[in-house]
Structure 1
Amino acid sequence: MATPVRITARRMALFDELVALILDEGFAHLTLDDLAARLHCSKSTLYRLADSKEQLVRAATVHFFRAATEQIEASLSGAVGARDRIRTYLEAVGEQLRPASAQFMEDLAGDSAAGEVYERNTRWAARRVQQLITEGVEAGELRDAHAAFVGDIAAAAMVRIQQRQVAASTGLGDAAAYQELAILLTRGL
């Protein structure tokens, strides 16, 4: 059984720095030597965080999406009503993705381990949007739409955003695409 890794303030700061670096520049072109030099640490320090570059990038991606999810959920605390909650949620998703460069998104799409993290988070977010729609329909705040259908359409759009298909077909970055999805859903419901 593996010994649990203690998360120290230094490790959290290192993950935060790593996340900022890969969001800004992507990660496919960076080696462990590059990462160590850019993060002002040794390779052995990085190996204490993960056993390989691939695992390090995956862990940093998990770190990013975990923090993003916390921020997105926190944004709902001030939202009142179904439309406001859906809009706030989707705009918060877009806002959390805003720091992610096009290179990071391309690298994410091309990396199976880190891409799986984004895919899993997209599925979770899609279920959350479906839940918000269902709650709004049941409360009578949204028109009597088939909530599962509308949620499924939202989920399909979110998956297309995650898979870079929306960017390819429209030129919209992920953050802007989420804002447009929020407008479509809240004004159409």
Structure 2
Amino acid sequence: MTKTTAARASKTKTPLAAASPWASAPDREQQREAKRRAVLQAAAELFNERGFHATSLDDIAARLNVSKPTLYYYVKNKDEILLQCVRQGLEMTLEGIEASRQAGGKAVDQLRACMQAYADIVMQPFGMCLIRVGDEEVPEPSRTELRRMKSEIDHAFRRLVAQGVQEGSLAPCDPKMTAFAIAGALSWIGRWYQPGGEYTPEQVARQCIATLCDGVLRRVDIPAPKASRAPRKIASKTVA
């Protein structure tokens, strides 16, 4: 090949494609989901701190260091944000309860595991939002759907209590009332718990579950009855 031919050939080579500064479609979707999640997380924290009505979209944007119009790329309005936060808390709770049930074991072991999962979640932002704000602020038809999900949590506790009574590991009781008492007590943690307080989440969950399972009355150990002694045999004297 002559120098002239080689020069012409080099000119006809396809130039290397310039690297695109834009992310690929899967990466863009992943980034969008991460940002949407950040919006919900910040909103849940603010709802828990200030209340739903006292929190504005401007507050959420300020927490994230973005402009208010930026939020509309990820959510429609504040009502949708609340709906997603509450739904997230419910889904986390149902997933935790189902995982505890799938682990197997006796009903009382599954019940303790479900209580642990529930207590853990109500001390996290989405679970706390579920308890502190509730579904009353969510418009229909989403409110009905969220209440259906709450009913699933209630019935999961009822089933485990009933199974525990049947297997003899729990004292005889009304499963419905007992499930209400357990869920009500654990839900209240989400109202009074403050991150960074005197107790860690692990300590709060452990002490509350122990109180629910063991009660608050001191158990007095009743000494076992002493074994009665056999009457002494008196040797009879032989009369001469």
TM bucket normalised to smaller: 0.5 to 0.7
Q: From 43, 46, 53, give the equivalent of 1:18.
A: 43
Q: From 78, 89, 94, give the equivalent of 2:119.
A: 94
Match of 1:126 in 2: 154
Report the 3-state secondary structure (helix = DSSP H, G, I; strand = E; otherwise coil) of the residue aligned with 1:113. Answer: coil
State the structure with more CA Rg.
2
Q: Hey, which of these two has a bigger chunk of helix by percent?
A: 1
8 Å contact kept, 2:159–2:175: no
Q: From 70, 78, 102, give the equivalent of 1:53.
A: 78
38-47 or 80-89, which deviates more: 38-47
8 Å contact kept, 1:32–1:43: yes
**Residues 1:119 and 1:158: Cα distance change in structure 2 (over 3 Å):** farther
Report the 3-state secondary structure (helix = DSSP H, G, I; strand = E; otherwise coil) of the residue aligned with 2:72. Answer: helix
8 Å contact kept, 1:26–1:105: no
Match of 1:145 in 2: 172
| 2:43 is aligned with 1:43 | no
Q: CA RMSD in A?
A: 4.2
- Structure 2: how far apart are the matches of 1:28 and 1:83? 41
Deviations 1:11-63 (A, max 9, x none): 23433343344445543321111111212333334334443212222222212
- Structure 1: how far apart are the matches of 2:99 and 2:90? 14
- Structure 1: how far apart are the matches of 2:100 and 2:50? 27
- Structure 2: how far apart are the matches of 1:95 and 1:179? 12
Bigger RCO (CA 8 Å, 6+ sep):
1
8 Å contact kept, 1:82–1:133: yes
8 Å contact kept, 1:82–1:136: yes
- Structure 1: how far apart are the matches of 2:170 and 2:178? 16
The runs of 5 or more residues in structure 1 that have no matched partner are 1-5
Match of 1:84 in 2: 109
Match of 1:154 in 2: 179
- Structure 2: how far apart are the matches of 1:135 and 1:127? 12
Task: Calculate the TM-score normalised by the size of structure 2.
Answer: 0.52
**Residues 1:75 and 1:150: Cα distance change in structure 2 (over 3 Å):** closer
- Structure 1: how far apart are the matches of 2:158 and 2:72? 40
Residue 155 of structure 1 aligns to which amino acid in structure 2? F
Match of 1:3 in 2: none
Q: From 9, 27, 31, give the equivalent of 2:56.
A: 31
The runs of 5 or more residues in structure 2 that have no matched partner are 1-28, 194-200, 216-240
Alignment identity in percent?
Answer: 22
**Residues 1:64 and 1:49: Cα distance change in structure 2 (over 3 Å):** farther
Task: Calculate the TM-score normalised by the size of structure 1.
Answer: 0.63
- Structure 2: how far apart are the matches of 1:75 and 1:161? 16
* Count, aligned residues: 172
8 Å contact kept, 1:86–1:186: no
| 2:138 is aligned with 1:113 | yes
